[in-house]
Structure formats: C-alpha cells, structure tokens
C-alpha cells in the first residue's frame, strides 16, 4: 500500500515538520519559541497542501497564517514584556484545553477511519478524487450563484465588520 | 512552447538518462542544478549591484565612489566580502543563539525564493506556478518574520524597537501592494508570471494601468526599505535598527539581502508592468529576452537609486498616514474602477480577442478606455489631496491668527496667514 518514492519521502518530511512544530508549540517554555514553532508547523501544513496539488491553499497558508496571524501573535507576545519571560508550562485552564484536544482527536480519528475501515469503507484502498480543481474553478465557485457566493459574501461582510469594530475600539474618543 | 526546452530540468534530465544514469537520479541532479543556477545568480549579481549603488550615490553627491580595487573599483565589494567573512563571528551573550543565527538565512531565503517565478525568457523560468503572483506575495511576507526574529533574538532594546517599526511598515505597505497587483492579474486573467508576460506582448501593463504601477512602485520602495521610506535603518534614531547586534558575515547577509531585495522588487516591476522579456526578436532568440528584462529592470532600478541618494527620510507617522490615508484608498478605488472598465470594454466588444491579443493595434481601444479610467482616478485623488491640504492649511492659519490676536503681536503674523 505504501511505496517509498520521492513524494512519500517529502510527505514524511512535511509531516515531521508539522507534528514536530505542533509539539514544540505546546512544550516550549518560551512563548516566542512557541510562536516560532507554530510557524514551522504551519509551514509543514503548507507543504502538505503542495503535495495534495493545491498550490493556492499552500500560498494562502503561508500568506495568511505565517505572514499575518503568526506575525501578529509574535507582535502581541513581544509587546507584553511580562509574557516573554513566562516559565510555566501549564495554566489553570489546562483541563479545558485537554478535553477539547481529546474530543478533536477523536473526531479526526473517526473521520479518517470510517471511510476506510467502516461498514461501507474502501478497506484500505485509498480513494482520491479524480478531479483536480484549478484556481479558475475556485474563483468561479466563489462568485457563482449556484455555488458559494452567499457564504463568500457573508464571510466578507463579517470580516469587514470585524475590521470596522477593531478601528472603533482602537480610536481615541474625540 | 516547445516541450524540450521548457526549463533546465526537462533539458538536462533526458541527456543524463541517455548517457546511462538512473532516471530518478538524473531528474534529481537536473533539479538540483536548476535550483543552484537560479539561486546563485542573484547572489553573484548582488556584488555588482552594491558597486552600482555606491557609484551612483557617489555621483549624486559629487564624489568619485570606489575607484581603487580593480578597474573602476569593480572589485571593491569582493574585497569587502572577504573582509566580512574573515571577521570574528560574534553572538551576544544574552541572545537567543539559534534564532539569532537563523534570522539572516531566512531573510536571504525570502528574496532568493522569489527568483523561482521570474520569467527570464519565453522558455526559461524556474517554476511556472499557476499562482506566481500569490507566491511572490507569500514569500515576501516571510521577510517580515526574519526581521522580527533578528530584532527579538538580539536581546537589545534598539533592535527590538527597530524590528517593531519595520514590521509595522512592511505589514502596512503589503496592503496597497497586493491591491495594486490585483489589476495586472485581472488584465492577464492569470496569476502565472509567464502568462502575464505573454499577455503583455500586445501592450505593456504600465500603459494600461499607470496608477497601479505607481502604487506598486511606491509600496515596493517601502517594502525594500528604500528612501524616502528607509526607517528600517534610521541610524540617527535607532543606531542601526533591527540588525544592530549583527557583525561580520551575518551582518553582510542582511546588507546583501537589502540590495538584492531592492533589485528583485524592480525586476518584478519589469516583469509585471514592463512586459518581462517582451521585445523585438525575443520569441525567436530567447537570450535577447533575458537582455531586455535586465535592461528594463535597470531602467526602473537606477531612478530608485537616485531617489535614495537625493530625498530625506519621512517621519513614521507621515509614512503611515501616506499609506493608510492615500495609497490604500487609491488602490481600492483603482481595483474597482479598472474592474468596471474592463467589464465595460468586454460588453462593448472592443477588447482584443484572444487571437489578436498580441497585436498592438487591436489593443488600442481597450487602452484608451483604461487610460480614461486611470485619468478619472488620478483627477479624483489629486482633487481630494488638494482639498485636504487646503483645509489643513486654513485651520493652521486660523490657529495662528487666533494666537496672534491673543498675544497682540501683529508683526509676528506669518506670510501664510496674510494670504488668506
């Protein structure tokens, strides 16, 4: 089932980056190191998107998650001097996140296992979608009335509202 | 496009296989060679670029510039690089050793990776990605990360302050840059750099959308930290900025990276707005296309050097105001107007058909329509600026007049007040 070729090798490299980075996020005692590990993990995810022939998703992953969100997190951590010197690994809410993590892992395992080993599963044969969508397909899908134009516009509206809200909160009272 | 010489990989690998190498190994070797070739070209070019920059800055300031080592001082930078390499490699005591040492490498990476999508000739491109433009934007955002890492890991407050300023600047100017890039993408109806070059065979995009070319050029100046936006190393305020603790070749990497980034940004300007390799005979003799691309890049690169040597630095609040209150609104309006005009041109049927897209004459009606759109945007923008500046001037004048009234010093009235 699993043959060793170049793409398998690359898959393992990115998988290790992704999981290793994620472990680093939760285990490093330094918050900045944690944020940098997050970037490593996200980069591994971007690599996996490339392997799945979804270069657009990979570029967006790098642009939005690494270029914007991770930078924002680092920025926030650096601006709060007391947080850069934090040494505790756990805080008081550790059990909440533990429950959330376990539930998420269970859902993921079920989601992966059911289609393959479930009652109607493919029993080991990996079934990949035959269609490969291009950026054109993605672009059309986002503005096509029969497809995703409503969720797309709603998301845009939500983001605009969030941006306006942020500006209103941040501006001085005049 | 002939399949055989699509890129270096598909040229070399079959030859290696013919001479008895394992196909996988041949593929690997040719990919490795291609990567090494494309990555080392900018690295070698930067030695020459620093010489060009120093010579031009010297001429602007009525000096001679480097003129001792080699003909016209051409080898000065090789001597400088040698000096940087043999210097002691210092890591400050309080620094975060790993991050401190990785930061210059990531900074370098963020520029060299861009060269992978630059179409040098109609047949030679590192990787003709479907998402070329998006790839460029994504890779540039990694440069911000390198500066952040360098500033924080140095354990120096000036470095950290410098990094904050730089990141604020880079993140802000990314917004108008991406919005300006949307217009060429709409015109070429593709994000691939090579498609963009082919789409410009009939008419360069700088003629079709001078406003987005202007926005892209200005935000590129800011992204590369060039004057008047060189707050990245405001040496009079921040000692040296984020790279203050770096010395020897690690500093050299940051410096070379800055020069390389400036050239790469102008190279992309030439690719996206000046038709890349397009020129007489470029499709039949590909090497000519490479020469054209370099000449076009030089045409936009040299003015940016002269600009750097002549204008003073802007204040950080002025820089932010210019970005958020002028460039970003202009870029948004530009995208909307151009999209509208493009659709209008298509509906009216005066857009060039795919068959004659590379014909100059067929492009003229569309060009006229788009230029009209641009003229409207510019007129509106300058009208708004004029109104705002006038209002500011009047409030200032009123304030002064009030103060003068209170203090009763009529002779202290400035000339600006007297005119209103």
Q: Which residues of A touch B145 (CB under 8 A)?
A: 39, 66-67, 70-71, 74
Give the domain A1-89 fold.
1.20.120
pLDDT at B418 over 70: no
Q: Report chain A's C-alpha Rg in angstroms.
A: 20
Look at residue A16 and tell me whether its pLDDT is greater than 50.
yes
**B142/A59 Cβ within 8 A:** no
CA-nearest residue of chain B to A37? Answer: B99
At residue B234, the 3 state secondary structure works out as: coil
Q: What is the predicted pLDDT for the residue at B6?
A: 47
Q: What proportions of chain A, in percent to the nearest 5, are helix, strand and coil?
A: 75, 0, 25
User: How far, in Å, CA of B87 to CA of B103, rounded?
Assistant: 19
| Cα B164 to Cα B371: distance, rounded to the nearest angstrom | 39
Prediction pTM value: 0.84
Size of interface A-B (CB pairs under 8 A): 64
Cα dihedral B32, B35, B36, B39 in deg (nearest 10)? -160
Residue B345 structure tokens: 């041109």
Chain B residue at shortest CA distance from A63: B138
User: What is d(CA B221, CA B133) in angstroms, rounded to the nearest whole number?
Assistant: 18
Residue A150: alpha-carbon gap to chain centroid: 23
Q: Does A68 touch chain B (CB under 8 A)?
A: yes
- Residue to substitute from A3, A5, A36, A40, interface B, most B β-carbons within 10 A: A36
Q: Give Cβ neighbours of residue B254 (< 8 Å, ≥ 6 apart).
A: B104, B107, B150, B243, B246
Residue from A55, A58, A72 whose CB has the most chain B CBs within 10 Å, to mutate: A55
Neighbouring C-alpha atoms within 13 Å toward the C-beta of A17: 17
Is the pLDDT reported for residue B44 higher than 80? yes
Judge whether residue A122 has pLDDT over 60: yes
Could you tell me the sign of the dihedral formed by the alpha carbons of A16, A17, A23, A28, in that order?
positive
The confidence band for B87, taking pLDDT boundaries of 50, 70 and 90, is confident
Q: How many residues make up chain A in this entry?
A: 174
Dihedral angle sign, alpha carbons of residues B368, B374, B378, B380: positive
* Domain regions of chain A by residue span: 1-89, 91-130, 133-174
What is the rounded CA–CA span in Å between residue B124 and residue B109? 21
Per-residue pLDDT at A81: 64
Per the CB < 8 Å rule, is B152 touching A78? yes
* A117 touches B: beta carbon within 8 Å: no
Give residue B410's pLDDT.
54
Can you tell me the distance from the alpha carbon of B400 to that of B380, in angstroms, rounded to the nearest whole number? 30
Domain range list for chain B: 87-410
What pLDDT does residue B75 have?
Answer: 86
For the residues of B359-371, what is the DSSP string, one character each? -TGGGHHHHHHHH
Please indicate if any CB of chain B lies within 8 Å of the CB of A78. yes
What is d(CA B147, CA B143) in angstroms, rounded to the nearest whole number? 7
Which residues in chain A have Cβ-Cβ distances shorter than 8 Å to B167?
71, 75
The mean per-residue pLDDT over the stretch B34-58 comes to 86
Search chain B and give the residue with CA nearest A76: B164
Rounded-to-integer distance, Cα A65 and Cα A69, Å: 5
| Rounded distance between C-alpha atoms, residue B53 and residue B351, angstroms | 42
CB–CB of B412/B404 below 8 Å? yes
> Would you call B134 and A67 a contact, using CB atoms and an 8 Å cutoff?
no
Do A39 and B145 lie within an 8 Å CB cutoff? yes
* pLDDT for residue A44: 92
Highest mean predicted confidence (pLDDT) among A72-86, B34-48, B110-124, B257-271: B257-271
Nearest to B142 among A6, A56, A66 (CB): A66
What span, in angstroms and rounded, lies between the C-alpha atoms of B177 and A21? Answer: 31
Q: Is A66 an 8 Å CB contact of chain B?
A: yes
Using CA atoms, how far apart are residues B16 and A174, in angstroms rounded to an integer?
A: 72
Among candidates B138, B152, B174 on the partner chain, residue whose Cβ is nearest the Cβ of A32:
B152
Q: CA B184 from chain center: how many Å?
A: 15
Task: Name the residue among A8, A73, A7, A62 with its Cα closest to residue A40.
Answer: A62
DSSP state of B119: B
CB B45 within 8 A of CB B262: no
CA-based torsion, B114, B119, B120, B125: positive or negative: positive
B314-337: per-residue pLDDT in tens? 888 888 888 888 888 889 989 998
Interface test with A, best of B30, B133, B136, B152 (most A CBs within 10 A): B152
Q: Is the ipTM of this complex over 0.90?
A: no
Please say if the pLDDT value at position B233 is more than 80.
no
Q: How far apart are CA B386 and CA A59, in angstroms?
A: 40
Distance in angstroms between the alpha carbons of the first and the last residue of chain B: 66
- The pLDDT of residue B228 is 78
Task: For residue A36, give the chain B residue with the closest CA.
Answer: B149
Predicted confidence at residue B1, as pLDDT, reads 33
- Which two three-digit tokens encode residue B105? 């490498």
Q: What is chain B's mean pLDDT, rounded?
A: 82
């Amino acid at each position: 089932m699993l043959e060793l070729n170049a793409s398998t090798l690359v898959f393992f490299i990115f998988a290790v980056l992704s999981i290793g980075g994620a472990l680093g996020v939760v285990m490093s005692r330094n918050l900045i190191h944690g944020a940098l590990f997050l970037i490593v993990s996200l980069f591994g995810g971007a690599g996996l998107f490339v392997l799945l022939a979804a270069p657009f998703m990979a570029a967006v992953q790098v642009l939005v998650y690494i270029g914007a969100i991770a930078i924002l997190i680092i920025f926030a951590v650096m601006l709060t001097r007391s947080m850069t010197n934090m040494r505790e690994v756990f805080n008081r809410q550790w059990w909440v996140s533990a429950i959330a993590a376990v539930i998420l892992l269970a859902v993921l395992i079920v989601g992966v296992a059911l289609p393959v080993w479930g009652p109607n599963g493919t029993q080991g044969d990996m079934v990949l979608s035959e269609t490969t969508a291009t950026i054109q397909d993605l672009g059309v899908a986002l503005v096509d009335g029969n497809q995703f134009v409503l969720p797309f516009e709603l998301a845009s509206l939500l983001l605009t509202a969030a941006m306006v809200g942020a500006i209103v909160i941040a501006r001085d009272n005049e | 496009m002939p399949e055989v010489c699509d890129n270096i990989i598909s040229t070399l690998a079959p030859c290696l296989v013919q001479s008895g190498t394992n196909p996988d190994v041949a593929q690997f070797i040719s990919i490795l060679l291609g990567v090494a070739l494309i990555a080392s070209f900018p690295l070698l070019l930067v030695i020459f670029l620093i010489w060009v920059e120093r010579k031009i800055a010297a001429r602007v300031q009525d000096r001679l510039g480097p003129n001792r080592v080699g003909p016209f001082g051409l080898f000065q930078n090789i001597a400088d690089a040698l000096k940087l390499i043999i210097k002691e490699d210092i890591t400050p005591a309080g620094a975060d050793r790993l991050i401190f040492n990785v930061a210059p490498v990531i900074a370098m990476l963020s520029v060299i990776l861009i060269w992978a999508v630059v179409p040098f000739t109609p047949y030679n491109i590192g990787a003709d990605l479907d998402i070329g433009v998006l790839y460029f934007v994504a890779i540039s955002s990694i440069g911000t990360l390198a500066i952040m890492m360098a500033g924080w890991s140095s354990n120096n407050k000036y470095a950290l302050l410098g990094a904050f300023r730089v990141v604020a600047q880079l993140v802000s100017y990314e917004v108008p840059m991406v919005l300006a890039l949307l217009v060429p993408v709409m015109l070429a109806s593709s994000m691939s750099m090579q498609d963009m070059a082919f789409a410009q065979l009939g008419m360069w995009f700088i003629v079709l959308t001078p406003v987005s070319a202007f926005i892209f050029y200005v935000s590129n100046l800011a992204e590369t930290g060039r004057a008047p936006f060189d707050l990245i190393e405001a040496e009079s305020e921040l000692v040296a900025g984020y790279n203050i603790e770096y010395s020897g070749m690690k500093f050299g990497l940051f410096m070379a990276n800055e020069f390389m980034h400036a050239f790469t940004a102008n190279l992309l300007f030439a690719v996206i707005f000046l038709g890349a390799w397009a020129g007489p005979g470029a499709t039949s003799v590909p090497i000519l296309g490479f020469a054209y691309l370099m000449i076009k890049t030089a045409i936009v690169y040299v003015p940016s050097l002269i600009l750097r040597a002549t204008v003073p630095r802007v204040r950080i609040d002025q820089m932010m105001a210019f970005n958020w209150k002028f460039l970003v609104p202009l870029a948004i309006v530009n995208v909307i107007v151009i999209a509208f005009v493009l659709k209008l041109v298509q509906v009216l049927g005066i857009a060039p058909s795919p068959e004659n897209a590379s014909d100059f004459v067929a492009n003229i009606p569309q060009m006229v329509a788009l230029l009209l759109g641009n003229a409207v945007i510019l007129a509106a923008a300058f009208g708004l600026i004029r109104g705002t500046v006038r209002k500011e001037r009047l409030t200032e004048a009123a304030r002064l007049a009030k103060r003068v009234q209170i203090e009763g010093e009529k002779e202290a009235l400035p000339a600006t007040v007297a005119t209103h």
